[in-house]
Amino acid sequence: MEMTTLVGRAAPAFTLPASDGAEIALESLRGMPVVLAFFRGTW
């Protein structure tokens, strides 16, 4: 499934695992600059 959004639109709510195993919800970062970078692993 391919999902896209437009620049300037609010991102949908989601939670992702952090490198230390903790869960981070996008909502917890409200009001702060956020940059998401997704890398497709080949390892």
Q: What is the DSSP letter of 15?
A: E
Q: Which of 2, 36, 31 is closest to 16 using CA atoms?
A: 36
Residue type for position 43? W
Give the Cα separation of 3 and 36 in Å (integer). Answer: 15
**pTM (global) more than 0.85:** no
Per-residue pLDDT tens digits of the chain, which is 43 residues long: 566 777 888 888 999 898 899 999 999 999 998 888 777 777 6
Q: What is the pLDDT of residue 15?
A: 94
